[in-house]
Chain A
Amino acid sequence: MSSPTPQYGPMFDTDELVINMGPQHPSTHGVLRVVLRLDGEKVVDADVVIGYLHRGVEKLSESRSWTQIVLLTDRLDYVSAATSNVGYCETVEKLMAIEVPRRAKYLRVILSELQRIASHLLWLGTHAMDTGAMTVFLYAFRERELILDLFEEYCGARLTYNSMRIGGLPQDLPPSWDRKVLEFCRIMEGKLEEYETLLTGNRIWLARTKGVGVIDGAEALALGLSGPPLRGSGVRRDVRKDEPYAAYDEMEFDVPLGVAGDTFDRYVVRMQEFRQSIRIIRQAMQGIPEGPILGKVPRLIKPPAGEVYHAIESPKGELGFFIVSDGKSTSPYRFRVRPPSFCNLQALPRLVKGHLIADVVALIGSLDVVLGEVDR
């Protein structure tokens, strides 16, 4: 490579440094690999390499029965399994035109929003950790633990819940679980103040996030961003509002929007989503109807021939499932996931260009990708 900056004269010959970040790097959130071309500390170009966590979930699904696939969706976004479960089950329900009881819809909302808080807590912790604020990480995990306890009490699992069934939910709420959820909401509101004290007004945090990785709404849409990264750029797009699923049409909540489209706005959007999620959980808890939790589902699930696409708002963005059924077999003919992390990740090379190495890790954190979902 020849010298890109000849103005130093013949004495110095500068060279670009090609450096490999990941797949074993503490800040790439799993096994992401980014090949960086550096001019000093400045990123000239970045090349994202994925595939280190590929397990063939989509292909596997084509040889599993429809009910077994719920288990595989747990392993897509493994820090937000419940929302993936909801997304898949609703897709199949749409294909089979199964009516889900209202109580089940409400429970799905509650579990999804709890999951959103848990997922955002993990994002907050790791994002802050990447910029060097390690205490926030421990605080966020402390509260995430409370949610995992709630999930454990509900379905027995703490990470891969398998908490949904086609047509509803596997079991009703355990006794006094609702009280614990409301208690958690109360605790969480206080803790949010704590995180904001540590970060939001912190000069170093502002310096590290403001104006870093700016992307405007039009470009964000063109790159296929969704979820908080898109809303951080000021685009009002939330599947829960635009194409309501479960019981979201009965909930009252705001869609937080950013203005500048930088890392700080994406941070603010997610911080406000915490509060909106708490608001939704409270409403759902209050309005939860009595009734069955599982709709009328045939013993052998065998959807009619046809294809269907259904999307939900996962904590990371728009999580879509596209399923083709041939109407004859007991497994899908084609199973395709539109993972928000994968689509959001493709903005990374565009975002990091011209920034420093320290910003690369901040931006990976800001996009909030989970490699299980990217590679599938």
Chain B
Amino acid sequence: MVELVLIPLLKIIVVLNATLLGVTYMVLLERKVIAWAQSRLGPMRVGPYGVLQPVADAMKLMLKEDITPARADKWVFTLAPILSMVPALVVYAVIPFGDEVHLFGRRISLYITDINVGLLYVVSVTSVGVYGIILAGYSSNSKWPLLASLRASAQLISYEIAITLTLVSVVLMSGTLSMVGIVTSQASQGVWYAFIQPMAFVIFFIGGLAETNRAPFDLPEAEQELTGGFHTEYSGMRFALFFLAEYANMIVVSSVATTLFLGGWLRPFPNVEFLSFLGIVPGWCWFLLKSFIFLYLFIWVRATLPRYRYDQLMRLGWKVLIPLAIANLILTAIVKVALA
């Protein structure tokens, strides 16, 4: 009973809360880092150095009036933010935050579950999130959100292909689809896949930026062009769900990138003996650190680069990233067979 229900339930509660907390503080981190990049201070009013800003934001969004436009498709309009938020949270079920720890005399694994098609699960669940964006634009019955959702669907579908192709080359290396299995195979092969699959790594990162609608691919919510994007007509908590989903997705992409390319919870140089003192730091700390590097990169890119245009984005996706990903996949397969 304890093993089967209680522990997984506790894990789910912990992960869910940690994620939501992480997401709200991700927003603060982004505001702070961008502010520093722009020689500003960022939020400073709520709490010391603005650390309580997420709390204030959450309160504000919850207390705000929730408006549904008169001509909106009400059911779909309500469904869309949920459809966008839930997949972003459900993905965390298979993400391995660490190895196993001993707690109260029990061995507890630091992941909710390890299914043998973990990677497939991640890909399929995150794809569902696109529906949220498409339906939001459609159901608002407003022209600007409609344009944004058209952009979003085209963008997400094209970049999903490139990303999935890079994932396949990683799977070729590891021989397993299980997220835990991918990490342990990096341990046994003694190298992070970022080093033997650099092309896949770069394509995954660029695709990840596009998948999460981040700059320079933030076309679906290009404020300067589309007055806000697919969530123009949303307000209050429903808007907050979209907002949180975006940041939750960023954390998902960072976590998946960490797991697949940077050895998950493994310490740097997992097989080099004389660096074993690094093992003092628990695995989940390495995991968080690596994910943090990705998140920081996301913010850094946003503070630096202008935005692509719609046609340029499509060209980059279809004419550059996808062919490169396919070439990389074929090359990986050939090398793999040759070595075997």
Complex interface: chain A residues within 8 A of B143 (CB): 17, 19
Nearest chain A CB to B65 CB, angstrom units: 20
CB of A212 to closest CB in B, whole Å: 9
Among A63-71, A179-187, A199-207, A242-250, the stretch in contact with B: A199-207
CA distance A19 to B219 in the complex (A): 18
- B100 on interface, CB distance cutoff 8 Å: no
Known: A132-B216, A132-B218, A139-B38. A27 touches B306 (CB 8 A): no
Q: A357 CB to closest chain B CB, in angstroms?
A: 6
Distance in angstroms from B298 CB to nearest chain A CB is: 15
Which of A90-98, A123-131, A277-285, A318-326 is the interface stretch?
A: A123-131
- Residue of B225, B303, B308, B311 near A134 (CB, 8 A) is B303
**Binary CB contact string for chain B from 126 to 154 against chain A (1 if under 8 A, 0 otherwise):** 00000000000000000110010011000
Interface string of B20-51 (1 = CB under 8 A from A): 00000000000000100111100000000000
The answer to whether B223 touches A135 (Cβ under 8 A) is no
Is B309 in contact with A358, judged by CB distance below 8 angstroms? yes
Q: Which residues of A contact B308 (CB under 8 A)?
A: 204, 207-208
Judged by a CB distance under 8 angstroms, whether B116 is at the interface is no
Tell me the A330-376 residues at the B interface (CB within 8 Å).
356-361
Contacts of A142 in B (CB 8 A): 39
B305 at the interface (CB under 8 A from A): yes
Q: Which of chain A's residues have a CB closer than 8 A to the CB of B222?
A: 132, 358
Q: What is the CA–CA distance of A135 and B304 in the complex, to the nearest angstrom? A: 7
B11 interfacial contact with A, CB 8 Å: no
**Alpha-carbon distance A303/B227, docked complex (angstroms):** 50
Contact A26 B224 (CB under 8 A): yes
Q: Is the CB of A26 within 8 A of B306?
A: no
- Give chain A nearest CB distance to B310 CB in angstroms: 6
Q: Please give, as numbers and ranges, the residues of chain A lying within 8 Å of B151 by CB-CB distance.
A: 41
CA distance A20 to B306 in the complex (A): 25
List of A residues within 8 angstroms of B215 by Cβ: 132
Instruction: Map CB proximity to B onto A132-143 as digits: 1 under 8 Å, 0 otherwise.
Output: 111100110010
Residues in A neighbouring B219, C-beta threshold 8 A: 358
Q: How far is the CA of A95 from the CA of B100 in the complex (A)?
A: 89
| Chain A, interface SS category | helix
Q: Give every chain B residue within 8 A of A135 (Cβ-Cβ).
A: 34, 37-38, 303-304
Return B107 CB to nearest CB of chain A, in Å: 48
Q: How large is the interface on A (under 10, 10 to 19, 20 to 34, 35 or more residues)?
A: 20 to 34
Query: Given that A129-B224, A139-B38, A142-B39 are contacting pairs, would A207 and B309 also be in contact in the complex, using a CB cutoff of 8 Å?
Result: yes
A-chain residues with CB within 8 Å of residue B224 when the two chains form the complex: 26-27, 129-132, 361
Q: Assess A204 versus B307: contact at CB under 8 Å? Given A132-B215, A138-B38, A142-B39.
A: yes
| Complex interface residues of chain B between 152 and 205 (CB less than 8 A to chain A) | none
Q: Which residues of A contact B38 (CB under 8 A)?
A: 134-135, 138-139
- Which residues on B sit within 8 Å (CB–CB) of A357? 147, 225-226, 310
A173 at the binding interface (Cβ < 8 Å): no
| Consensus secondary structure, chain B interface | helix
Contact between B310 and A208 (Cβ–Cβ < 8 Å)?
no
Q: How far is A207 from B314 in the complex, measured between Cα atoms in Å?
A: 13
The answer on a CB contact under 8 Å between A359 and B305 is: no
State in angstroms the CA–CA spacing of A204 and B223 once bound together: 18
Quick one: closest B residue to A207, CB to CB?
Answer: B312
Complex contact B309–A26 (CB within 8 A): no
B312 surroundings in chain A (CB, below 8 A): 204, 207-208
Q: For the complex, what is the distance from the CA of A27 to the CA of B222, rounded to whole Å?
A: 11
| Complex Cα spacing A207 to B313, Å | 11
Interchain CB contact under 8 A, A356 and B310: yes
Query: Does A255 have its Cβ within 8 Å of any Cβ on chain B?
Result: no
What residues of A have a CB within 8 angstroms of the CB of B303 in the complex? Answer: 134-135
Contacts of B310 in A (CB 8 A): 41, 356-358
Q: How far is the CA of A130 from the CA of B222 in the complex (A)?
A: 9
Contact: A356 with B216, CB < 8 Å?
A: no
Give bound CA distance, A129 to B310, whole Å.
Answer: 17
Task: Say yes or no: B216 contacts A204, CB within 8 Å.
Answer: yes
* Nearest CB of B to A139, in Å: 7
Contact with B along A200-233 (1 / 0, CB 8 A): 0010110110000000000000000000000000
Interface centre among A130, A131, A139 (most CB of B within 10 A): A131
Once bound together, how far apart are the Cα atoms of A140 and B309, in whole Å? 23
- Give the distance in Å from the alpha carbon of A139 to the alpha carbon of B40 in the complex: 10
Q: Which of A19, A26, A41, A359 contacts B223 (CB 8 A)?
A: A26
Interface set, chain A 10-32, CB cutoff 8 A to B: 17, 19, 25-27
A2 vs B238: C-alpha distance in the bound complex, in angstroms?
37
- Residues from chain B with a CB closer than 8 A to the CB of A359 are 309
A49 within 8 A of B: no
* Inter-chain contact A358/B225, CB cutoff 8 Å: yes
Contact assessment for A25 and B216 in the assembled complex, using a CB-CB cutoff below 8 Å: no
Answer yes or no: A308 CB below 8 A from chain B CBs.
no
Cβ-defined contact, A128 with B147, below 8 A: no
Chain A hits for B150, CB < 8 A? 40
Min CB gap A184→B, angstroms: 17
A-B contact pairs, 18 of them (CB 8 A): A17-B147, A25-B227, A27-B224, A27-B225, A131-B306, A132-B218, A132-B307, A133-B304, A133-B307, A134-B303, A139-B38, A198-B304, A202-B305, A205-B306, A207-B312, A356-B310, A358-B219, A361-B224
- B-binding residues in A (CB < 8 A): 17, 19, 25-27, 38, 40-41, 128-135, 138-139, 142, 198-199, 202, 204-205, 207-208, 356-361
A-B pairs, top 6 by smallest CB distance, nearest first, are A132-B307, A138-B38, A133-B306, A27-B224, A131-B306, A358-B309
8 additional contacts (CB under 8 A) given A129-B224, A208-B307: A26-B227, A132-B215, A132-B224, A207-B308, A208-B306, A208-B309, A358-B225, A358-B307
